Structure 1
Amino acid sequence: MRPTLLAGLSLALLCAGAQAATPTSRFTFDPYPSTYRALAAPPLLIRQATVLVGDGRRLDNADVLVENGRISAIGTGLAAPAGATVVEAGGKWVTPGIIDVHSHLGVYPSPGVKAHSDGNEMTSPVTANVWAEHSIWAQDPGFHAALAGGVTSLQILPGSANLVGGRGVTLKNVPATSYQAMKFPGAPWGLKMACGENPKRVYGGKSGPATRMGNVAGYRAAFIDAAEYLKKNAPRSQAPKRKRWWERASGGDAPDSGGDAGGKRDLKLDTLAGAINGEILVHIHCYRADEMATMLDLAKEFGFKVAAFHHGVEAYKLADRLAQENVCGALWADWWGFKMEAFDGIQENIALVDRPAGGCAIVHSDSDEGIQRLNQEAAKVMANARRAGMGEIAPERAIRWLTGNAARALGVQEQTGTLEAGKMADVVVWNQNPFSVYARAEQVYIDGARVYDRHDPSRRPKSDFLLGQEVAP
């Protein structure tokens, strides 16, 4: 049978585009670059599965072909290249790897003791100078537990104590000794911000802010400083008399404007300026609809773009505006009521954010055990929508909450999140419909390498931290 292909673009061109490095400015030069290297693996052919592409399409009795760590083709009757591993997947389901856009693995690792609490730099309301990656403990056993749940990529964020908590980083969920060996090549940083109760509770008895109006004043003051810093460091055509810090670091040839203390670098303002420039994606912990609206107006005032509101139990109240402004909602299925700003949550929240044209709903974990079963969290949303009379949400639509939409919010949609030719072969083989309570991830592939296999103990990674420790009966 002649193969039926879904993609007509040149695989070589797609791979070249996907591997292109993200452009950097002086504000986003990375002195701690990714050292991630995909594991070597033979070609892979997964045959006759129900395939959820991740973009709204479902293909029955379809094949997925992987070569050189990339999706080569999806269709029917695909031929296995020489030396390929063939997985007979009749009766099974195949999806893109799950992406968690809000995790604290590695910065709040297991076991959860004070010595491991490295997610909140509670020394100032604005700590845009800190980077979550410098707290990540790659030996956290939680990474491997998440892998068993089909999570192939995840964004690690600082905590939410501060108005601006610092930079987040996107990782590939592979066993490693250092975070750099997990760092997603070319992924932009995220900037973690927080609305509402947390900053005013933490700083209300100190130097402030003590109120929500104090929160907003704090954001504005920080971005005013960043806008001035950005202006002072704008490129100019004149040749420099001496190299500034960004030239020594990145080899650039543009001087600063000569007005910022001789070109002295400010790590906090680097990050905020990168956000204004659109090079760092803004992710905001925010529960109430009124505060989300205020943050959207703040973004307009200073010219940055909100990639996603996280937690957002009232996101359903402004679902149309989020869709119109191309802002994602990274949300829980049914967490609510644990503090006042979380009081007005509803179980149909994600379904309502997903409903408008252009809506971008995402199921996230905030880590703990939730990251191990994000597919079941999404299934709860589907059931709650049905009970509310919203009709059936098809699996091919719901899978986007865990894959395609998540990749979009992290700025890696050109590389992962959907099973399309040229993209990274981050793939999960499920024993059945992934939105069943009985579903299990049987095999997980990252860049085409089988990194987890439920039926093969040699393919179930274990953290060095756990080696030699007794398992509780």
Structure 2
Amino acid sequence: MTRFALLACAAAFVVAGCSTTGGGDTASASSGDWTAPVGKDGNAPFPSTYKPYPGRPTALVGATIYDGRGGRIDNGTVLLRDGKVAAVGDASLSTTGYDVVDGSGKFVTPGVIDIHSHLGDYPTPSVEAHSDGNEATAPMTPEVWAEHSVWPQDPGFTRALANGGVTALQILPGSANLTGGRSVTLKNVSARTVQGMKFPGAPYGMKMACGENPKRVYGSKGRMPSTRMGNFAVNRQMWLDAQAYDGEKRDLGKETLKGVLDGEILVHNHCYRADEMALVMDMAKEMGYKVTAFHHAVEAYKIGDLLRENDVCSAVWADWYGFKMEAYDGILENAAFLQREGACVVIHSDDANGIQRLNQEAAKAQAAGRRIGIDIPDAEVVGWFTYNAAKAMGINDMTGSLEPGKMADVVLWNGNPLSVYTRPEKVWIDGALMYDAMDRKRRPVSDFELGQPGEGDVK
């Protein structure tokens, strides 16, 4: 058997363990007698077939623990068993029956979560043939689902795991459209299909956008919307039409919109300017839905109180701004001002490289705050790329923090995770060791990166 054939057999053996026919809980949106699958597993189309890789009872001892909820334990212990966090505490926790990993001088956090990614939909290599994230043929495309473009072999997934400690991520459609379609939340594991990566029980999201992108894309085509007032007019009419939908004749777009109105699908809104975010929140109240997070949100610092009062998270960059007019008024202190107001802060990537250093981006935002007298403890900053992301994605009861009973999605860092010199040393997903910098056999590589067989290998 050739080297290539051996690799293919090994890969098939590994990913076969990801597949199952299980579904999980059923979630439906209903209107009268009408019932259509909406957000979660079970009867929904394209259900998750994710099954955790096998793990061993593991005790991480001696490390500094940041639990994702603002807690810190020095010389702490984290116990992982049966895919869950079994216990978190100090050095007095018994480790009998566990494989012990010495974390002395190191740090433990929950797995990193990226709320805004396009991996799989805009995979590496970045060529036109891989451009599958924007259905830019109509301003409203709620009927499309990001998961139907996800390529599981995108090398970006394994790089995000190894370099960034990313254990879960949300894949969103692009922002050419006012309504771009459904997002999907994935566990960052190798699988043959997107269903083998789908985070079980995670609600769907719906991507919306305001501002320059939709009006530029459709204005250039001589179509509405070409202005910001056109954006809102088209959006409001969409919601009015969705409210009137009775389901007698299936409409994929209106099924998604109905799911939003029934609270089963979460709205993730690409929006830069503070005035537009305020208008969108008013439109949401008018039409009966809720925005879970504004993404990019470079002017969120101007309305931190409104965002707090409406329980809307801001998914932001540390310092990416000024690249177009609506991003002009971004400031380095954005996240710090939001934190000071008690608003929800999330650090996101929107980028195949940025997803590999969300911890460092959070540290930059923290440092900008410190320079103006807003000193945010490290333990709280870690929540910006763990628990707060999970909260805005509707999965915080399952992951995002180190609490007993939650998924054992965990990173052991070789130093302080808020240092530019630090990298993940080990990463567990549902208690299975998926990456180990000290073990070459635990460094996953995409099938795509294995390359093509040489002529001499073919038999």
TM-score clears 0.5: yes
Provide the residue aligned with 1:221 in structure 2.
237
Aligned ranges for residues 292-371 of structure 1 at < 5 Å?
Answer: 292-357=277-342, 359-371=343-355
Q: 1:383 aligns with which of 364, 367, 383?
A: 367
Provide the residue aligned with 1:246 in structure 2.
none
CA distance in 1, matches of 2:24, 2:156: 31
Aligned ranges for residues 4-15 of structure 1 at < 5 Å?
Answer: none
Provide the residue aligned with 2:399 in structure 1.
416
CA distance in 1, matches of 2:170, 2:96: 34
How many Å apart are 1:206 and its aligned residue? 3.1
Query: Which residue identity lines up with residue 217 of structure 1 in the other structure?
Result: A
Provide the residue aligned with 1:91 in structure 2.
105
Please state whether the residue corresponding to 2:254 is helix, strand or coil: helix
Query: Which residue identity lines up with residue 227 of structure 2 in the other structure?
Result: T
Q: Is the 8 A contact 1:27 1:271 kept in 2?
A: no
Q: Is the 8 A contact 1:132 1:158 kept in 2?
A: yes
CA distance in 2, matches of 1:275, 1:366: 23
How many Å apart are 1:405 and its aligned residue? 0.5
CA distance in 2, matches of 1:216, 1:100: 28
Provide the residue aligned with 1:24 in structure 2.
28
Query: Which residue identity lines up with residue 58 of structure 1 in the other structure?
Result: R
Q: Is the 8 A contact 2:66 2:379 kept in 1?
A: yes
CA distance in 2, matches of 1:140, 1:185: 21
Provide the residue aligned with 2:218 in structure 1.
203
Q: Is the 8 A contact 1:27 1:273 kept in 2?
A: no
Aligned ranges for residues 96-175 of structure 1 at < 5 Å?
Answer: 96-148=110-162, 149-175=164-190
Query: Which residue identity lines up with residue 434 of structure 2 in the other structure?
Result: V
> Structure 1's 104 and 318: CA in aligned 2 closer, same or farther, altered over 3 A?
same
Query: Which residue identity lines up with residue 382 of structure 1 in the other structure?
Result: Q
CA distance in 1, matches of 2:370, 2:207: 34
Please state whether the residue corresponding to 1:380 is helix, strand or coil: helix
CA distance in 1, matches of 2:452, 2:124: 14
How many Å apart are 1:40 and its aligned residue? 1.2
Tell me, yes or no, if structure 1 residue 399 matches structure 2 residue 415: no
Q: Is the 8 A contact 2:68 2:382 kept in 1?
A: yes
How many Å apart are 1:55 and its aligned residue? 0.4
How many Å apart are 1:421 and its aligned residue? 0.3
How many Å apart are 1:79 and its aligned residue? 2.0
Aligned ranges for residues 408-447 of structure 1 at < 5 Å?
Answer: 408-447=391-430
> Structure 1's 154 and 90: CA in aligned 2 closer, same or farther, altered over 3 A?
same
Q: Deviations over 1:406-428 (max 9, x none)?
A: 00000001000000000000000
* TM-score of the two chains, using structure 2 as the length reference: 0.89
Gaps of 5+ in 1: 1-18, 234-262
Provide the residue aligned with 2:457 in structure 1.
none
Q: Is the 8 A contact 2:153 2:446 kept in 1?
A: yes
> Structure 1's 22 and 90: CA in aligned 2 closer, same or farther, altered over 3 A?
farther
CA distance in 2, matches of 1:30, 1:103: 23
CA distance in 2, matches of 1:173, 1:335: 25
Provide the residue aligned with 2:3 in structure 1.
none
Please state whether the residue corresponding to 1:181 is helix, strand or coil: coil
CA distance in 1, matches of 2:331, 2:26: 38
Query: Which residue identity lines up with residue 162 of structure 1 in the other structure?
Result: N
How many Å apart are 1:21 and its aligned residue? 2.4
How many Å apart are 1:468 and its aligned residue? 3.3
RMSD: 1.3
Q: Deviations over 1:364-383 (max 9, x none)?
A: 00022100000000010111
Q: Is the 8 A contact 2:24 2:200 kept in 1?
A: no
Q: Deviations over 1:171-200 (max 9, x none)?
A: 000011111000000000000000000001
CA distance in 2, matches of 1:461, 1:85: 22
Please state whether the residue corresponding to 1:165 is helix, strand or coil: strand
Query: Which residue identity lines up with residue 221 of structure 1 in the other structure?
Result: Q
Please state whether the residue corresponding to 1:466 is helix, strand or coil: helix
How many Å apart are 1:24 and its aligned residue? 2.3
Q: Is the 8 A contact 2:26 2:44 kept in 1?
A: no
* TM-score of the two chains, using structure 1 as the length reference: 0.87
Please state whether the residue corresponding to 2:28 is helix, strand or coil: coil
How many Å apart are 1:27 and its aligned residue? 4.7
Query: Which residue identity lines up with residue 24 of structure 1 in the other structure?
Result: S
Query: Which residue identity lines up with residue 362 of structure 1 in the other structure?
Result: V
CA distance in 2, matches of 1:399, 1:375: 7
How many Å apart are 1:116 and its aligned residue? 0.1
Deviates more, 1:73-82 or 1:369-378: 73-82
Q: 1:268 aligns with which of 246, 253, 257?
A: 253
How many Å apart are 1:469 and its aligned residue? 6.4
Q: Is the 8 A contact 1:43 1:81 kept in 2?
A: no
Provide the residue aligned with 2:89 in structure 1.
75
CA distance in 2, matches of 1:202, 1:465: 33
Q: Deviations over 1:99-119 (max 9, x none)?
A: 000000000000000000000
Runs of 4+ in 1 over 6 A off after TM superposition: none
CA distance in 1, matches of 2:26, 2:311: 21
CA distance in 2, matches of 1:22, 1:459: 35
Counting aligned pairs with the same residue, the percent is 59
CA distance in 2, matches of 1:402, 1:352: 17
Query: Which residue identity lines up with residue 369 of structure 1 in the other structure?
Result: N
Query: Which residue identity lines up with residue 359 of structure 2 in the other structure?
Result: N
Please state whether the residue corresponding to 1:119 is helix, strand or coil: coil
Provide the residue aligned with 1:450 in structure 2.
433
